[in-house]
Amino acid sequence: MEWFCMLMRPLTDEQINQYEKDGYVIIRNGCSEDLIDAFNAHIYTIRSAKEIADWAVPGKTWTDKDRFSTRLFNPHKQDGFSLQMIKLPIIRGALCQLMGDEAVGIQSMYFFKEPGAKGQAAHQDYYYIKTEPNTMIAASIAMDKTDEENGCLWVIPGSHKLGLLTHGEVKDLVEHEHWTHETEGIDLGKQIPVIMEKGDLLIFHNLLIHSSTLNRSTNRWRRSYVCHYVHHASFVGPEHLRFKTPLIRENMRF
């Protein structure tokens, strides 16, 4: 299947080396501004509807405030536009380069992160999603410009080489949501901010320690579309994530 990976090779050798060294790489201008604006508007339409579709409701019990604060979970399973966004050729090509083979999508999340919203404490994605063999890679599409003011991601370069660490209770409830867990036994002072422009793509390893902070802006959102992928032959632990979305055309399946 190596010939599949020849269709698009967006990462340079230097970027691949950076991913292997640091556990992440940014593809600048991976998505056009028109595409980002169209997708943001599409998601807004879904959540602003008078009657929200069952698959898109913010939870069992919700209020109008939750429409644009609670993440939209796995929209690619129900919505055509979200499905195409998880299958972006530039992401598929980068994953092919990093895995050496075709990837499949297993999860998508659209985050709103309005002004004043808390972030998620430092963690490793593999803590929540076990795969065998361990091949999971995340791709985060910046739907807005993201920096320290509006609660960008922070990462510890090279931390993906430490293996899976212990996770415990969240310590800073002013900065972070309470319903997550936090990596223990690591110097969080080594975190650095990931500054991204609208349309940039962040590709990162499932063991990379990363977090996000409180959105301290008064009028800036930090929306993002975060998708998780695995090698097409990997087993996915959580049962609700075992449906694999191919990133290739129907007549090119494995």
**Tens-place pLDDT, residues 124-167:** 999 999 999 999 999 999 999 999 999 999 999 999 999 999 99
**d(Cα 107, Cα 76) in Å, to the nearest integer?**
8
Contact 200, 36 (CB under 8 A): no
Bond from prior residue into 238 cis (ω within 30 degrees of 0) = no
Q: Which residue, among 212, 15, 240, 226, has the nearest Cα to 109 in the 3D structure?
A: 226
Q: Which residue, among 193, 208, 227, 223, has the nearest Cα to 123 in the 3D structure?
A: 208
**Tens-place pLDDT, residues 85-118:** 999 999 999 999 999 999 999 999 999 999 999 9
Buried residues in 117-149 as b, exposed as e (16+ CB within 10 A): bbbbbbbbbbbbbebeeebbbbbbbbbbbbbeb
Residue 1 clears pLDDT 50, i.e. is over it:
no
Amino acid, single-letter form, for residue 31: C
pTM for the whole structure: 0.94
- Quick one: pLDDT at residue 251? 47
Domain annotation for the chain: domains and CATH numbers: 15-239 (2.60.120.620)
Q: How far is CA 61 from the centre of its chain?
A: 25
Buried residues in 64-98 as b, exposed as e (16+ CB within 10 A): eeebbbeebebbbeebebbeebbbbebbbbbbbbb
Mean pLDDT to the nearest integer, 187-196: 96
**Tens-place pLDDT, residues 31-64:** 999 999 999 999 999 999 999 999 999 998 999 9
Which pLDDT band, with edges at 50, 70 and 90, does 8 fall under? confident
Amino acid, single-letter form, for residue 12: T
- Quick one: pLDDT at residue 176? 96
| DSSP-H helix ranges across 161-210 | none
Task: Give, for 17, the enclosing helix (H) or strand (E).
Answer: helix 13-22
